[in-house]
C-alpha cells in the first residue's frame, strides 16, 4: 500500500522508488519530505526534495509509509523491500521489476487489465490526474522532476481530453 501511494503521490520513477532509503524520509507537520538522491535526469546526484502532504481517509501516503517503516525489522537501509508470502519483510532492496509486478497485481485485483499498467503508471497517473484537476504544469513538473512541458505532455494521458472540453461546455 505504501509503495503504491508514495509512488503515485510523488510521481516517482520505479528506480527512484526502489533507490529510497529510510533516511531519505523526513516526517514533518504538513506530511513528509522525500529526498531523491539520484535519478535518470540527475546523474550527478545533486538530489531534490519532494513534499507529500497528508491525505484524508485511508489512502494517505504519509500514514501508510509511517506504518510500513514501523513494521520494518530494522528501520535503516532500503525503504522498500520484498515480502514473503507469509508477510515477512526481507532485508534487501526491492527491484524495479517488482514495482511493476505489484502495480499489475493490484490493478487486476480491482478488475482492470494488468497488461495495460506498469510501474510507470504511478508516475503517469499523477501527471494525468493533476492535469485533469487543473494543476499547473510547473507544479506537476516540480513534483515529478520533468525538465520541460514537452516531456511532461508525454505523460499526461488521454484523460485530459475531457478537461475544459468545448463540447462538454455545450452538452
Residue 100 corresponds to which cell in the numbers above? 511493476
Residue 119's CB: how many other CB atoms inside 10 A? Answer: 23
Beta bridge partners of 36: 48
Considering only CA atoms, which of 47, 50, 49, 68 is closest in space to residue 4? 68
Residue 47 corresponds to which cell in the numbers above? 538530489
Rounded to the nearest 10 degrees, the angle between the axes of helix 96-109 and helix 120-132 is 60
Rounded Cα gap, residues 86 and 154, in angstroms: 39
In the block, cell 461546455 appears at 169
Give the phi and the psi of residue 103 in degrees, each rounded to 5.
Answer: -60, -50
Rounded Cα gap, residues 77 and 36, in angstroms: 14
Q: Provide the annotated active-site residues.
A: 13, 40, 120, 123, 146, 155
Amino acid at each position: 500500500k505504501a509503495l503504491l501511494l508514495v509512488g503515485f503521490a510523488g510521481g516517482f520513477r520505479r528506480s527512484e522508488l526502489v533507490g529510497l532509503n529510510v533516511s531519505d524520509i523526513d516526517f514533518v507537520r504538513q506530511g513528509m519530505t522525500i529526498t531523491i538522491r539520484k535519478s535518470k535526469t540527475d546523474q550527478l546526484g545533486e538530489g531534490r526534495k519532494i513534499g507529500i502532504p497528508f491525505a484524508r481517509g485511508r489512502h494517505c501516503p504519509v500514514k501508510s509509509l509511517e506504518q510500513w517503516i514501523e513494521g520494518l525489522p530494522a528501520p535503516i537501509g532500503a525503504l522498500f523491500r520484498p515480502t514473503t508470502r507469509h508477510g515477512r519483510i526481507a532485508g534487501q532492496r526491492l527491484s524495479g521489476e517488482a514495482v511493476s509486478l505489484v502495480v499489475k497485481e493490484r490493478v487486476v485485483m480491482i478488475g482492470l487489465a494488468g497488461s495495460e499498467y506498469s510501474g510507470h503508471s504511478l508516475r503517469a497517473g499523477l501527471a494525468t490526474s493533476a492535469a485533469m484537476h487543473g494543476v499547473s504544469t510547473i507544479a506537476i513538473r516540480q513534483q515529478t522532476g520533468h525538465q520541460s512541458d514537452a516531456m511532461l505532455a508525454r505523460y499526461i494521458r488521454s484523460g485530459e481530453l475531457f478537461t475544459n472540453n468545448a463540447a462538454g461546455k455545450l452538452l
